[in-house]
């Protein structure tokens, strides 16, 4: 049995429950340090094989302005193609710093980010572009909300991750100290 946050079922799991050790990794696709760690951990996983389970937990950081949009798109892609979650994660790391760094995404709207990521995922064969864009499309009224700030169909999954991973022991905001 592997050690986990009590009740934690979130994340992309590499390895099995029979692994000798589990390493939970909180990462941000837009973070250059997370990208380096991800690359190193894929090599570590190859070396240790079934002895190590890696649990990758996507955690957007607010100091990377496009990070929330990139993570939202990652979740949309895994909703559409859950069997390819590892490939989607690896590809998202490939594209995030190249196409969605602070500099590259400065003039892009949320819709433009969604469309650009949809094209990249679709060209790679990871999602159906139309279905992806339907998931991330902003709804004028979220069911039952009656307001103009309801988000999209990925909102609920993204929200669960954000709430579940916002524990006092996990550093999240640059201006908040954990207690």
Residue 136 domain-assigned (yes or no)? yes
> What pLDDT, on the 0 to 100 scale, is given for residue 93?
95
pLDDT higher for 144 or 148? 148
For residue 179, pLDDT over 50 is answered with no
> Model pTM?
0.80
Residue 35 domain-assigned (yes or no)? yes
**What is the per-residue pLDDT across 70-101, written as a single tens digit (0 to 9) for each?**
999 999 999 999 889 889 999 999 999 999 98
pLDDT higher for 24 or 143? 24
For the sheet with 52-58, list strands across it: 12-14, 52-58, 21-27
> What pLDDT, on the 0 to 100 scale, is given for residue 127?
97
Residue 171 domain-assigned (yes or no)? no
Number of domains in the chain: 1
Q: Is the Cβ–Cβ distance between 56 and 12 less than 8 Å?
A: yes
Q: Measure the CA–CA gap between 91 and 70, rounded to whole angstroms.
A: 12
Cβ burial of 121 (10 Å; 0-12, 13-18, 19+) is buried
Residue 176 domain-assigned (yes or no)? no
Report the mean per-residue pLDDT for the chain.
Answer: 80
Contacts for 142 with CB less than 8 Å, ≥ 6 apart: 150, 151, 155
* Structural domain containing residue 151: 12-48+55-164
CATH of the domain at 22: 3.40.30
Q: Name the packing angle between helices 85-99 and 32-48 (round to 10°).
A: 150
Residue 6 domain-assigned (yes or no)? no
Residue 80 domain-assigned (yes or no)? yes
């Amino acid at each position: 049995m592997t050690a986990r946050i009590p009740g934690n079922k979130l994340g992309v799991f590499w390895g099995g429950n029979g692994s000798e050790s589990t390493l939970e990794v909180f990462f941000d696709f837009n973070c250059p340090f997370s990208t380096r760690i991800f690359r190193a951990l894929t090599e570590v996983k190859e070396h240790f094989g079934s002895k190590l389970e890696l649990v990758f937990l996507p955690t957007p950081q607010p100091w990377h302005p496009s990070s929330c949009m990139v993570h939202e798109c990652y979740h949309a892609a895994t909703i559409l193609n859950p069997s390819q979650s590892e490939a989607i994660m690896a590809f998202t790391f490939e594209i995030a710093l190249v196409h969605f760094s602070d500099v590259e995404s400065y003039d892009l709207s949320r819709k433009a980010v969604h469309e650009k990521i949809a094209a990249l995922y679709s060209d790679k064969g990871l999602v159906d572009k139309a279905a992806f864009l339907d998931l991330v499309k902003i709804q004028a009224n979220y069911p039952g909300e009656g307001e103009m700030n309801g988000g999209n169909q990925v909102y609920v999954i993204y929200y669960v991750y954000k709430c579940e991973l916002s524990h006092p022991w996990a550093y999240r905001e640059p201006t908040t100290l954990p207690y």
